[in-house]
Amino acid sequence: MTKRVVLIGHPVAHSLSGAMHQAAFDSLGIDAAYEFWDRSPMELADAVGALRGDDFLGGNVTIPHKERVVPLMDRMTEEAHATGAVNTITREGKRLVGHNTDVPGFKIALDKLVGKQKMPRYAVVLGAGGGARAVVHGLITLGFQRIVVFNRHLHRAEGLVKHFGRSAAHMELRAMPWHESIIEAELAKTKVLINATSIGLTSDLSPIPPEILQPNLLVLDLIYAQTRLLRDAKSAGATVADGEVMLLNQGAAAFTLWTGQAAPLDVMQEALAAARAGGVRSAEGEPTGLPEPSGEPVPAEASAEAVAGDPG
Ligand code: NDP
């Protein structure tokens, strides 16, 4: 019997994760199919309930359901519990287990960006959504001593800080209002800048002006594309990385959870690159301002703007 893995989101018509996981199943001779389920919030409980069936290895969860699935789980791992978000589901018999593989995916991406340098201790995070929660949890567990979170809607950043209250008690985790002068002042004291907003996903905009980017910064954009922020940061002399490593590694961790096997990273990376070149878009924040894919390759620039981290 062909086993099934589903990506549940709204919308999920096209996904880089599908290409990545199907290639991984096929390369290891695992008889499994990766499916896309577009389910509204009203349909979510039934969709998640279906994963209890024996034909399912598990699933991925993406925008806008990552937080909503939490109460539907029978058990949560430490990372899912800490972030309050689930991007991967596995089965233990009929019981469903919620995981958050964005956290290890982010840590690997940051580690790679930092390279041989000593891991910094101060970070600025732009954004306060599900991705930002994985980032902040990752930074806390990596020993960061000061993390400042900026968000367009301050209350959401404040909610994030409150959520991490206890686990961040030993360090300084602050929410700050989105003012360029405050971001600039914080960046001047900081080595690591993470963009966990979706600004740059569907447009060629940057969340911050180029003048405030310093050459000593390490800049990670969760979006899987050479965003304007990354281009500006590179021009300023900063060290930069996009969301590819995070996307790949959150996927690899999910693959291992479903199959018990090491993920074929090279195969997955190749499949991602091919899907990206072919204009496949992410399930995360499906672009609204671009034409629907028609089967024709999307011009490289448009597709680079369109892709981003999947169920991560
Ligand atoms: P959410 O929808 O949960 O959060 C979106 C964030 O972007 C919020 O902080 C929101 O601010 C902010 N934002 C959106 N539009 C604007 C705007 N016009 N101006 C200012 N702020 C804005 O999404 P996620 O956290 O799940 O994802 C965020 C990004 O990270 C996406 O681009 C996603 O693709 C990427 N990602 C990549 C992963 C990877 O594996 N590489 C994994 C997870 C995410 P507000 O709260 O004020 O609306």
- Check residue 194 and give its pLDDT: 98
For 96-117, the pLDDT digits (tens) are 999 999 999 999 999 999 999 9
Q: Burial level of 239, CB count in 10 A (0-12/13-18/19+)?
A: middle
- Give me the phi and psi of 184, to 5 degrees please: -60, -45
Kindly report, residue by residue over 158-174, the tens digit of the pLDDT. 999 999 999 999 999 99
E strand or H helix at 183: helix 180-187
Do β-strands 32-38 and 75-76 pair in parallel, antiparallel, or remain unpaired?
unpaired
Residue nearest to atom 2 of ligand 1 (CA): 129
197, 202, 206, 247, best to mutate for ligand 1 pocket (most atoms within 8 Å of CB)? 197
For range 83-96, the mean pLDDT: 96
Please tell me the residue having the least CA distance from ligand 1 atom 37. Answer: 309
Q: What is the pTM of this model?
A: 0.90
For 243-265, the pLDDT digits (tens) are: 999 999 999 999 999 999 999 99
List pLDDT tens digits, range 45-79: 999 999 999 999 999 999 889 999 999 999 999 99
CB neighbour burial string for 185-220, b if at least 16 within 10 angstroms, e if fewer: ebbeebbbbbbbbbbbbbeeebbbeeebbbeebbbb
The closest of 222, 210, 194 to 284, measured between CA atoms, is 222
176-211 pLDDT, tens digit per residue, is 999 999 999 999 999 999 999 999 988 999 999 999
What percent of the chain shows pLDDT beyond 90?
A: 83
311 pLDDT above the threshold of 80: no
Residue of the CA atom closest to atom 20 of ligand 1: 152
C-alpha span between 166 and 76 (Å, rounded):
18
For a pocket test of ligand 1, which of 65, 125, 152 has the largest count of ligand atoms closer than 8 A to its C-beta?
Answer: 152
Could you give the residue numbers annotated as active site? 66
